[in-house]
């Protein structure tokens, strides 16, 4: 069975009773991504971002490059298992405060769609808190839909746009 590469986005904006601040939660989550038949190949620096939606708490965000033999469905199951171990409960409003959020952004198998998972992540191209750290560790990886590199996609988000007339 072949090994696959995954780009995983990490986010936290809630303290954890054992790990502490959201930044510390992400450090512990990165360690968890380096166990259980997964190998952490690279991790971006942790950045802060403003929340999407109704939450008022700032997020700590990072991106990890992971190798594993898992297919996308197995990888999603593993990531959700790690979220649950950190106290994540998938109930209530989307975009609410959370101890840990792990998302499959890309995998080396190209585009993939299932009942509970779409790869590439449908909104990653609009999210600087994903693309900026992703460009640091996997800048030449290409989006299978647009063909653009992560560096190019990140630059598009920061490029000044002329004001409408």
What is the pLDDT, as a whole number, of residue 36?
82
Half-sphere exposure of 132 (CA within 13 A, CB side): 13
Strand partners, 48: 60
**Domain presence at residue 36:** yes
CATH number where 93 lies: 3.30.70.560
User: What's the pTM value of the predicted model, to 2 decimals?
Assistant: 0.90
Average pLDDT, the chain: 90
At 13, list the tokens. Answer: 């904006």
What is the pLDDT, as a whole number, of residue 4?
96
Q: How many domains does the chain have?
A: 1
At 79, list the tokens. Answer: 């990531």
What is the domain range of residue 38? 4-123
93 pLDDT band, cuts 50/70/90, is low
**Domain presence at residue 153:** no
* pLDDT tens digits, 6-48: 999 999 999 999 999 999 999 999 999 999 899 999 999 999 9
Q: Position of tokens 């994540």? A: 88
**Domain presence at residue 128:** no
What is the pLDDT, as a whole number, of residue 146?
96
**Domain presence at residue 134:** no
**Domain presence at residue 80:** yes
At 18, list the tokens. Answer: 């054992």
Is the pLDDT assigned to residue 80 strictly greater than 60?
A: yes
Q: How far apart are the two ends of the chain, measured CA to CA in Å?
A: 56
Find the helix or strand (DSSP H, E) in which 107 lies. strand 101-107
């Amino acid at each position: 069975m072949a090994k696959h590469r995954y780009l995983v986005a990490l986010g936290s904006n809630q303290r954890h009773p054992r790990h502490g601040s959201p930044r510390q939660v992400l450090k512990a989550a990165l360690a968890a991504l380096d166990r259980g038949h997964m190998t952490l190949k690279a991790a971006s620096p942790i950045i802060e971002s403003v929340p999407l939606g109704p939450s008022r708490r700032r997020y700590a965000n990072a991106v990890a490059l992971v190798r594993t033999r898992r297919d996308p469905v197995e990888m999603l199951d593993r990531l959700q298992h790690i979220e649950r171990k950190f106290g994540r409960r998938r109930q209530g409003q989307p975009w609410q405060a959370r101890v840990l959020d792990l998302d499959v952004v890309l995998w080396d198998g190209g585009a993939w769609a299932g009942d509970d998972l779409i790869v590439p992540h449908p909104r990653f191209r609009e999210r600087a808190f994903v693309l900026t750290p992703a460009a640091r560790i996997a800048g030449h990886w290409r989006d299978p839909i647009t063909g653009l590199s992560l560096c190019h996609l990140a630059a598009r988000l920061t490029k000044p746009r002329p004001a409408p007339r």
